[in-house]
Amino acid sequence: MSKRSIRTFQGLVFLIGLMLVAFNLRSSITAVGPLISTIRIDTNLSNSVIGLLTTLPLLAFGAFSILAPKIGRKWGNETTVFIALLILTMGILFRSTGMVFALFFGTAMLGLGIAICNVLIPGIVKGRFPEKMGLMTGIYTTSMALMAAFASGVSIPLAQGFNLGWEKSLAVWAILAGVAVLAWIPQLRKQKSPAQVSQSPNSSIWSSKLAWQVTFFMGFQSCIFYCIIAWIPEILVSRGIDIPTAGWLLTLTQIVGLPATLLVPILAGRLSNQKGIVLGIALLYTVGFLGIYLGGSLGLMSVYMMCLGVAQGAGISLSLSLFGLRSQNAYDAANLSGMAQSAGYLLAALGPLLMGLFFDLFQSWSPAFLLFFVMIFAMGISGVHAGRAQFLFQSEPEKLRA
């Protein structure tokens, strides 16, 4: 077999492993949502306590994302991802035992495993395919979003249609995680040792203005996304749409966003800067939220929700793309990913709580819409700066200065 054929085969094996890892980075979380009421009744827990099942993973993302690059440098990124997948698999199984303590401890475990993979995968892709960063990021994020939507849709059929109950319904996802563990084993032979990874001479990622701009863009787009997931169905009901239809509109939003999730990283990688994409995302969000606020027919509301869906898909994939686009090596990409995802997901965990608090205080969704528009503005400003053609720790040409 020629060297070119070997490289092609190795690239295909990596792509399969990458997609299988991506399949596991949201599915075990989104599978819980439809089963929340069943779990609450079965465990006799309050709504506020059971709500931790959705916020614990986000808190884990925020707490552990910053540690992932340090662990990756010590053990190697590929090995660390392998260990994270094992932790994720064990967390899913532990969560599915039916014991209340195990339910929450297992959720925290899978959040830890996902957080590590979230952070290190962009650096691995940057190191393996620096010239195809956009394409690989598009495949990765689309795989993640597709399986997340699928997991949300099949939870109830698995639990009720197949009589598995909520425990076994959640345990099913350990199979997918186990397959990812096996598929990732070939990558352990290909990793660079920690000493071989080039490091930036600069002391800290936290001192970089550009890193903070990428972090704020990541944080605000994540916050908008999780606020939509948590509260848009309730907001739609307040606009005269029945509960089942509101749920289907949220599903439509996720499906419509898939093409943008795939294509935006490819487009971003081909452009000299990504400011236009950021402005497009902000415009779509503005149109979507303004339309929902004003109300209208079901057809119009569907159009507004599709605007949100395209913006969502483009936002998350552009965020992940910026980790590679704004860094010159895998070391900086992993550090930037850790910083942005740590702060970003902590912000994302606070957003839905603030939105619920505003509604409790004012008994109106108007303050929530005001919060949406403030987040869009902040996302747009930080994104325009993060989208400029520059690298971390690089002196900016005068024409690129803000």
pLDDT digits (tens, 9 = 90+) for 108-151: 999 999 999 999 998 898 888 888 888 898 999 999 989 988 88
Residues 305 and 288: their CA atoms lie apart, in Å, by 6
Position 199 in a domain: no
281 and 340: one domain? yes
Q: Is 395 left (phi over 0), alpha (psi -120 to 50) or beta?
A: beta
23 and 170: one domain? yes
Exposure of 347 by Cβ count < 10 A (0-12 exposed, 13-18 middle, 19+ buried)? buried
Whether residue 125 contacts residue 324, with contact meaning beta carbons closer than 8 Å, is answered with yes
173 and 247: one domain? no
Using alpha carbons only, give the angle 364, 57, 116 rounded to the nearest 5 degrees.
Answer: 140
224 and 83: one domain? no
Q: What is the CA radius of gyration of the chain?
A: 21
352 and 209: one domain? yes
Which of 128, 136, 167, 140 is CA-nearest to residue 24? 140
158 and 36: one domain? yes
Position 55 in a domain: yes
Which of 160, 193, 226 is the endpoint of a domain? 193
The helix-helix angle for 52-64 and 100-128 (nearest 10°) equals 40
Give pLDDT, residue 207: 87
173 and 217: one domain? no
Position 200 in a domain: no
Position 220 in a domain: yes
Give pLDDT, residue 8: 81
- Distances in whole angstroms, Cα of residue 33 to Cα of each of 53, 230, 293: 9, 10, 25
Residues 230 and 365: their CA atoms lie apart, in Å, by 13
- Distances in whole angstroms, Cα of residue 171 to Cα of each of 83, 166, 183: 19, 9, 20
Q: Which of 181-185, 268-272, 351-355 has the lowest mean pLDDT?
A: 351-355
Give pLDDT, residue 11: 87
Which of 183, 116, 172 is CA-nearest to residue 147? 172
Tell me the CATH number at 358: 1.20.1250.20
Whether residue 218 contacts residue 316, with contact meaning beta carbons closer than 8 Å, is answered with no
pLDDT, tens digit, 9 for 90 and up, residues 227-259: 887 788 888 888 888 877 887 888 788 889 999
**What would the mean pLDDT of 268-278 be, rounded to a whole number?**
93
Which of 158, 193, 228 is the endpoint of a domain? 193
305 and 182: one domain? no
230 and 185: one domain? no
Helices (H), 239-329: 243-256, 258-270, 275-294, 298-325
231 and 281: one domain? yes
Amino acid at 225: F
Position 397 in a domain: no
Range of the domain at 248: 205-391
Give helix then strand counts, H and E, for the chain.
18, 0
Structurally, the chain folds into a number of domains equal to: 2
Residues 62 and 376: their CA atoms lie apart, in Å, by 21
173 and 240: one domain? no
Confidence band, pLDDT 50/70/90 cuts, at residue 50? confident
Average pLDDT, the chain: 87
140: Cβ–Cβ under 8 A, 6 or more apart, which residues? 18, 19, 22, 121, 125, 320
Residues 243 and 196: their CA atoms lie apart, in Å, by 55
143 and 273: one domain? no
19: Cβ–Cβ under 8 A, 6 or more apart, which residues? 139, 140, 143
Position 358 in a domain: yes
Position 80 in a domain: yes
Q: Tell me the pTM.
A: 0.81
Which of 167, 193, 219 is the endpoint of a domain? 193
Count of residues making up the chain: 402
pLDDT, tens digit, 9 for 90 and up, residues 296-326: 899 999 999 999 999 999 999 999 999 989 9
Which of 340, 222, 354 is CA-nearest to residue 281? 222
Position 399 in a domain: no
Whether residue 142 contacts residue 263, with contact meaning beta carbons closer than 8 Å, is answered with no
